[in-house]
Amino acid sequence: MSDVGVLGAGSWGTALALLLNKNGHNVTIWSIDKNEVEMLNTKREHESKLPGVKIPQEIVITNDLESAITGKDFLVLAVPSPFTRSTAKAMAPYVAEGQIIVDVAKGIEETTLMTLSEQIFDEIPQANVAVLSGPSHAEEVGRGLPTIVVIGAKTKETAEYLQEAFASPVFRVYTSPDIKGIELGGSLKNVIALAAGMADGMGYGDNTKAALITRGIAEISRLGVKMGGKLETFAGLTGIGDLIVTCASVHSRNRKAGYLMGQGKTMQEAMDEVKMVVEGVYSAKAAWKLGREYDVSMPIVDEVNEILFEGKNARDAVNDLMLRDNRSEHSALPWN
């Protein structure tokens, strides 16, 4: 049994807190929002983000950051990616040397092009930073539906300790040393999911979505390998697996935002209607910048950026993708 602090009381943080509680751990949930803490303590349910899922009384819910961190065997950082750095900065004075922080959000910082684990280590150099990712919607994990994820860590010992802590009969956990690949797959797939949602919103079919998913993982893999990630990671749960679920699921906020934009809403109107952080919007510019920095062709990412930030019509973007120069699917495959 471990003492665990979950920082962030949104749907994902709450779902993981419930999982860890069922696994026999002592869990504390922290939120920066005092009103949210009061609501959760009173109703023991996050009615807007995880409706119908009750929070057991033994889970402590607090607004006191120090008490949520001090003495905990490990911490789960579950705030939306745009708030990772600011939350890490606030956490830093209370984090002990070698204390494990598991980041479970997905994103890339636009200004520095750092992944989330890099941002956390930048603010909390004494921490032992790990990541958890994979095809795992909070709505399903909160209800106890079978889910498989990957833990990435710097050492096998840390990865296996966290594997044991999170694993349950309905939550299978693999381990991996490829933190970079895991984070890039989890971040960049949100940008592709926006495109898949737009295609759905415009009434395109399964052929279109399959093409976007397949060519999307090609873009992600090209960039990820150049940045030091492993090809096996992008072919696995945190690559193609996470991309499939995010492009196809009704739970996906990125797909939903794209769907609304495909129906004619602006980016801001779509984000307002989703009512949660659409992380693909925040990662899109970073993905575009990384493509240029590493000289990687990323046509889907390019078109999504033009739609989001330059007012390009989504149908025109699809036409431009279809009318690109003809080429071989895999240039590394030789003709006999």
Catalytic residue among 189, 209, 230, 256: 189
Q: What is the Cα–Cα distance from 80 to 94, expressed in whole angstroms?
A: 21
Q: What is the dihedral of CA 200, 271, 141, 240, to 10 degrees?
A: 50
The one-letter amino acid at 17: A
Residue 275 phi, psi dihedral angles, 5° rounding: 65, 15
CA torsion sign for 246, 252, 253, 258 is: positive
What backbone phi and psi angles, to 5 degrees, belong to 175? -120, 155
Q: Which of 58, 45, 38, 57 is nearest to 15 (CA)?
A: 45
Q: How far is CA 313 from CA 54, 272, 306, 332, in A?
A: 43, 20, 9, 34
Which amino acid, one-letter code, is at 327?
R
180 is catalytic: no
Are the C-beta atoms of 122 and 111 separated by less than 8 Å?
no
Give yes or no for a contact between 291 and 302, defined as CB atoms under 8 angstroms apart.
Answer: yes
The DSSP annotation for 97-129 comes to: TT-EEEE----B-TTT--BHHHHHHHH-TTSEE
Secondary structure of residue 249 in the 3-state scheme: coil
Please list, residue by residue across 249-258, b when 16 or more beta carbons sit within 10 angstroms of its beta carbon and e when fewer do: beebbbbbbb
Strand (E) or helix (H) holding 74: strand 74-77
Angle, alpha carbons 239-244-245 (nearest 5°): 105
Query: Catalytic residue numbers?
Result: 189
